[in-house]
C-alpha cells in the first residue's frame, strides 16, 4: 500500500460538517446496493426477487423508525444539527429526493425486466384483466369460498367515521354509486394478510397459448378482490377502486424510569403501537385520482411529500414468498453449514467427544453460516443443560426465533435443577412480543429472567456455563457477534469464540452480576464492555497506532462492522490517517466517514460487501508494532453501541485464531464481485475483476474453505 504524504495542514477542524456523511442518506446508499443485487443479471433470478423484497422491507422499517423520528423532531422544533450540518426538515427533503428515483427504478425493473424473465422460466405474474374466462370463473369461486368471508368493507360517511388503517396494510379505496340516489360513496377494503398475497391458479389453468409450461401462475390478491367488489356492495355500482398502503410510526416510547414493571410497560406500549402511531408514508398507484388522494391525505393527516407513487404492484416485500418455488436452478446453490473439524466424530463407530473437553484443549473460533450453529452453539448450550456436572447457565438474549431450541434447552436445564439466569432484552425493536412470550415461558419453568437495565439495551451476545469437574469449578464461555437465533444464523455472517479461559470466565461473572444485580463494575480483566470501558479502549487502541506512526513506526487498522456513525471515533480515525496510519474499513451499511480526502482521510479506504449472506460480524484489528491485537464482539462504532447499550468485545489471544481472523479480513478486502468502494463524494462503485483476473467472491471463498 502506498505510504501517505504527511500533510502540512494544521488548522483543519475535523468536526466540520463537510467531513461527515448524513446517516440517513448513507443508509439509503446501502439499500441502493441491495437493489443492485435485484437488478444484477449475475444474481440468480429468484434471488433477484428476494433482494427486491428485502429492499422494500428495509424501506418499511426505515420509514417506521428513522423517518418517523425525523418527523417527531420536526414537530418538536428540534434545532440541533446532525454532524453533517442538517436540520430534520433538510434531512426529510434529502431523503425524498434520493429515494423517489430508487423506488421508481425498483418498480420499473420489476415490471419491465423481471416479470418477462420469470415468464420465460414458467413463473407468471398475471393481471386479472389478462385472464381468460375459465381462469376468471375459477377466481370468482375462490373469492366466494376463501376470500369473501374474511373481508370487512368499511363505509365512510357521516354515520361511519374514517376507519383506523393498520400499519403496513394494503387497502382498496373503493368509490361506489347508489343507483337510487345517485350519490357517490367511499369505502375502504383491507386486503387481508392472513391470505396469500399472490393467488395461485391450479395446474389445469396455468397454461396459456404461446407460453411454455408454467411452474407457477398467480394473480395479486388485491386484484381478485377488486374485480369482485359487487359481492361486497350488492346493489351498488362500482365506479372505481385504487390500492394504497400506509406506514406508521412504530417505534416504542417507554418511560423506563417511571415503569414499575418493565414487562407490563412494554406490553402496554405494544398495544398502543397497534392502534396508534402517526402515518408517515402512503404508497399509491399513479392512477389514483386527485379526489381520492386528497381525501386520504386529509383523513390520514398527510402532506404531499408523504405520498409515494408507483406504477406497479404495491408492497413488493411480499415477493419473498416466491422463494419457496421448486426451481433450484433459479436460486443460489444450496449451502449446508459444516461442523468444525475439532467437533467432528471421526467415524460412526466412535463416540462423540465431550464438547467441554474440546474447549479445554484450546479456544475454538466459530464462523456462521459457514460453520453450523446447531453443531456448535446449540450443542454447547444443550450439552450444558443435560451435563450432570453443570451447575449454572447464564446468557443474554436479544433476538431469537419463535421456536428456538436454545430456549427449550434452557427450560430443560432449569427442570434438571441447574441455576439458569437469562437476560431477555424486551426492547429489541420489532421482537418485543416474541421476547415477552419467551420470557414468560422461561419464568414458568423456573428460570431467573431479567428484563434489561433502565436506559440501556442489552445487545451483548454471551453465555456463561459453570461446571464442576474433578471437584474443581471451571467456567466456559461463548462470546459472539450475532444473536442466538438458529434461523438468522443460516443467513447472517457472524463470529463467536468458545473458551474456558479463567480471565474471560471471571469477566462474564462480573458482567452478569452487573446485569442482574447491583454493581458499579468499572474494570474488566480482558473484556471491553459498553457503556463502561468500550469507547475509551477503542479510542486508546486507535491513538496507540497514531503514536506509533509519530514515533517513526508504522500504524495499521482494519475494522469490519455493520455501521460507522460515532463522530468521536470518526474524528480519531481522521487523526490517525493524518498521522500516516493505514486504515481499511469494511462497513456493510451506514458509513458517515468520508474516505480519500486530501489532508484528512487519504489513508482511509472503505468497502461494503453485499451478498447472499448478510454481513453481520464485527472484527477489529490493530497492528501494534507487530504485536497484533484482534477483537470480535457485538458492538458497531455507533453512539448507541458505545454509550446506550450493554456490549461485549473480546480480545483474541490464540495465535492460530488471530491468523484465521486476519485471513477473513484479507479475503473480504480482496473481494471483486460483491464489494463496493465508498468514494469521497458518498457514492459507491462496485468492484469488478480486472481483465485477465479471476473473480474473487469473499462469501463463496469462505464456503469453499469451510468444506
Residue from 122, 316, 113 nearest 218 by CA:
122
Distance between CA atoms of 705 and 699, rounded to whole angstroms?
A: 10
Report yes or no: 548 and 626 within 8 Å, Cβ to Cβ.
no
Residue from 403, 381, 458 nearest 426 by CA:
458
Q: What angle do CA 386, 390, 396 make, to 5 degrees?
A: 90
Per annotation, catalytic residue among 459, 478, 616, 623: 459
Residue 160 appears among annotated catalytic residues: no
151: which 3 cell numbers? 373481508
Which residues, other chains included, contact 28 with Cβ-Cβ below 8 Å and sequence gap of 6+?
Answer: 62, 95, 98, 99, 102
Residue from 554, 547, 669, 699 nearest 605 by CA:
669
603: which 3 cell numbers? 489513508
Report yes or no: 534 and 646 within 8 Å, Cβ to Cβ.
no
CA distance readout (Å), 514 to 521, 522, 553, 684 = 7, 10, 40, 42
Residue 230's SS3 state is helix
Q: Which residue blocks in 324-431 are alpha helix, DSSP H?
A: 355-361, 379-386, 405-415
Polymer length of the chain: 707
Residue by residue, DSSP assigns 566-628 as -HHHHHHHHHHHHHT-EEEEEESS-B-B--S-TTTTTTEEEEEE-SSSEE---EEEE-GGG--
Distance between CA atoms of 364 and 346, rounded to whole angstroms?
A: 18
Residue from 490, 459, 498 nearest 368 by CA:
490
Instruction: List the catalytic residues.
Output: 459
Amino acid at each position: 500500500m502506498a505510504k501517505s504524504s504527511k500533510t502540512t495542514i494544521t488548522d483543519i477542524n475535523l468536526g466540520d460538517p463537510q467531513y461527515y456523511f448524513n446517516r440517513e442518506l448513507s443508509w439509503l446508499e446501502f439499500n441502493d446496493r441491495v437493489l443492485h443485487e435485484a437488478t444484477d443479471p449475475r444474481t440468480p433470478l429468484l434471488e433477484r426477487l428476494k433482494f427486491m423484497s428485502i429492499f422494500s422491507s428495509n424501506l418499511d422499517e426505515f420509514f417506521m423508525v428513522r423517518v418517523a423520528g425525523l418527523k417527531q423532531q420536526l414537530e418538536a422544533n428540534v434545532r440541533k444539527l446532525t454532524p453533517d450540518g442538517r436540520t430534520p426538515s433538510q434531512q426529510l427533503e434529502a431523503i425524498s429526493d434520493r429515494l423517489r428515483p430508487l423506488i421508481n427504478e425498483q418498480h420499473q425493473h420489476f415490471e419491465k425486466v423481471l416479470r418477462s424473465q420469470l415468464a420465460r422460466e414458467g413463473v407468471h405474474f398475471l393481471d386479472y384483466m389478462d385472464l381468460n374466462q375459465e381462469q376468471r370463473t375459477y377466481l370468482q369461486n375462490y373469492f366466494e369460498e376463501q376470500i369473501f368471508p374474511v373481508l370487512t368493507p368499511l363505509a365512510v360517511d357521516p354515520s361511519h367515521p374514517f376507519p383506523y388503517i393498520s400499519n403496513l396494510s394494503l387497502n382498496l379505496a373503493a368509490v361506489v354509486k347508489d343507483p337510487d340516489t345517485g350519490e357517490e360513496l367511499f369505502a375502504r377494503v383491507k386486503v387481508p394478510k392472513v391470505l396469500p398475497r399472490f393467488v395461485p391458479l391450479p395446474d389445469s389453468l396455468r397454461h396459456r397459448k404461446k407460453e411454455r409450461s408454467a411452474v407457477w401462475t398467480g394473480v395479486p390478491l388485491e386484484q381478485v378482490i377488486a374485480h369482485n367488489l359487487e359481492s361486497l356492495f350488492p346493489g351498488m355500482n362500482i365506479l372505481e377502486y385504487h390500492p394504497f398502503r400506509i406506514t406508521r410510526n412504530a417505534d416504542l416510547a417507554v418511560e423506563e424510569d417511571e415503569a414499575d414493571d418493565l414487562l407490563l410497560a412494554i406490553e402496554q406500549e405494544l398495544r398502543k403501537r397497534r392502534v396508534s402511531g402517526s402515518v408517515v408514508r402512503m404508497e399509491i398507484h399513479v392512477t389514483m385520482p386527485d379526489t381520492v388522494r386528497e381525501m386520504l391525505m386529509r383523513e390520514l393527516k398527510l402532506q404531499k411529500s408523504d405520498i409515494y407513487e408507483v406504477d406497479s404492484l404495491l408492497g413488493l416485500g411480499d415477493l419473498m414468498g416466491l422463494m419457496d418455488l421448486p426451481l433450484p436452478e433459479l436460486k443460489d446453490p444450496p449451502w449446508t453449514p459444516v461442523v468444525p473439524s475439532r467437533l467432528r466424530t471421526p467415524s460412526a463407530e466412535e463416540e462423540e467427544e465431550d464438547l467441554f473437553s474440546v474447549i479445554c484443549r484450546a479456544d475454538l473460533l466459530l464462523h456462521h453460516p459457514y460453520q453450523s450453529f446447531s453443531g456448535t452453539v446449540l450443542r454447547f448450550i444443550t450439552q450444558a443443560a443435560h451435563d450432570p456436572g453443570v451447575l449454572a447457565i447464564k446468557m443474554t438474549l436479544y433476538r431469537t426465533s419463535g421456536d428456538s431450541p436454545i430456549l427449550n434447552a434452557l427450560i430443560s436445564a432449569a427442570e434438571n435443577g441447574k441455576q439458569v439466569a437469562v437476560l431477555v432484552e424486551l426492547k429489541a425493536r420489532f421482537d418485543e412480543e416474541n421476547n415477552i412470550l419467551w420470557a414468560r415461558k422461561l419464568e414458568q419453568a423456573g428460570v431467573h429472567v431479567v428484563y434489561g437495565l433502565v436506559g440501556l439495551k442489552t445487545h451483548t451476545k454471551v453465555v456463561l456455563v459453570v461446571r464442576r469437574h474433578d471437584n474443581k469449578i471451571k467456567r466456559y464461555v461463548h462470546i459472539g457477534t450475532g444473536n442466538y437465533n438458529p434461523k438468522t444464523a443460516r443467513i447472517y455472517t457472524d463470529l463467536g469464540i468458545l473458551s474456558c479461559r479463567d480471565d474471560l470466565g471471571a469477566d462474564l461473572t462480573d458482567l452478569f452480576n452487573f446485569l442482574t444485580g447491583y454493581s458499579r463494575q468499572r474494570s474488566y480483566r480482558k473484556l471491553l464492555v459498553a457503556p463502561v470501558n468500550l469507547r475509551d479502549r477503542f479510542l486508546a487502541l486507535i491513538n496507540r497506532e497514531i503514536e506509533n506512526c509519530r514515533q517513526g513506526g508504522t500504524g495499521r487498522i482494519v475494522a469490519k462492522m455493520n455501521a460507522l456513525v460515532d463522530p468521536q471515533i470518526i474524528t480519531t480515525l481522521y487523526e490517525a490517517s493524518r498521522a500516516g496510519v493505514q486504515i481499511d474499513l469494511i462497513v456493510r451499511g451506514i458509513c458517515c466517514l468520508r474516505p480519500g480526502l486530501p489532508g484528512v482521510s487519504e489513508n482511509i479506504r472503505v468497502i461494503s460487501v453485499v451478498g447472499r449472506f448478510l454481513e453481520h460480524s464485527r472484527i477489529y484489528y490493530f497492528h501494534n508494532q507487530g504485536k497484533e491485537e484482534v477483537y470480535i464482539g457485538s458492538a458497531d462504532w455507533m453512539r448507541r453501541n458505545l454509550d446506550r447499550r450493554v456490549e461485549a468485545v473480546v480480545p483474541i489471544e490464540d495465535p492460530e485464531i488471530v491468523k484465521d481472523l486476519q485471513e477473513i479480513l484479507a479475503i473480504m478486502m480482496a473481494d471483486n464481485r460483491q464489494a463496493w468502494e465508498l468514494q469521497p463524494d458518498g457514492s459507491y462503485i462496485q468492484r469488478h475483476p480486472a481483465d485477465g483476473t479471476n473473480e474473487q467472491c469473499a462469501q463463496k471463498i469462505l464456503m469453499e474453505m469451510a468444506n
